[in-house]
């Protein structure tokens, strides 16, 4: 393969420019700092304070800032705002209709010493919540107990491959 002289000259020129650029970037900060030191001797803008004017900047002692109000973690928050929605957005909530006598499907159970929740029909629910004609009366590690409007109690076990839960 034969290389033309013009292409060779262009390639050598680009190589020299690249080496010069790298050298400038390596040595440039030290050269720029001396240039800035020379320029910092006198300010670019001459702003003189007005006579008789006081400083508008007020210095605040950090110890004088009041502490935030205490947060009570034993109660549920009083607000009903959904933190995942912005402004005036709203979420369409579809009620699970279980009026035909079928039992709700329990997808997951979140069980701890302080709270028990269950994911039923794609909704997170607790004791006292209603799903169609049923009200949740108890949540155990592997089952949820529902009570119908007639007072009949039904125990629905967790559906899925691991109904025993995770052992930790």
**If DSSP codes are grouped into helix, strand and coil, which group holds residue 150?**
coil
pTM of the model: 0.38
- 87, 85, 131: which is closest to 105 by C-alpha? 131
134, 104 Cβ separation under 8 angstroms: yes
Domain ranges of the chain: 1-40, 106-157
Burial class (CB in 10 A: 0-12, 13-18, 19+), 137: middle
How far apart are the C-alpha atoms of 132 and 101, rounded to whole Å?
10
Q: Encode the chain (168 residues) as per-residue pLDDT tens digits.
A: 788 899 999 999 999 999 999 888 888 766 666 656 555 565 555 555 556 555 566 778 888 889 888 887 787 766 666 677 777 777 654 444 455 567 888 888 888 888 888 988 788 888 888 888 888 999 988 889 998 888 888 888 876 444 444 444
């Amino acid at each position: 393969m034969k290389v033309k002289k013009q292409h060779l000259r262009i390639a050598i020129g680009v190589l020299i420019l690249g080496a010069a650029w790298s050298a400038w970037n390596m040595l440039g900060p030290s050269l720029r700092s001396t240039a800035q030191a020379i320029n910092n001797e006198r300010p670019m803008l001459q702003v003189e304070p007005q006579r008789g004017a006081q400083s508008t900047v007020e210095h605040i002692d950090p110890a004088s800032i009041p502490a935030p109000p205490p947060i009570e973690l034993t109660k549920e928050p009083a607000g009903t705002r959904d933190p995942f929605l912005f402004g005036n957005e709203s979420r369409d909530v579809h009620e699970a209709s279980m009026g035909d006598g079928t039992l709700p499907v329990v997808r997951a159970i979140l069980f701890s010493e302080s709270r028990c929740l269950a994911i039923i029909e794609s909704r997170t629910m607790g004791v006292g919540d209603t799903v169609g004609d049923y009200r949740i009366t108890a949540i155990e590690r592997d089952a949820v107990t529902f009570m119908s409007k007639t007072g009949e109690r039904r125990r629905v076990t967790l559906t899925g491959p691991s109904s025993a839960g995770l052992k930790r």
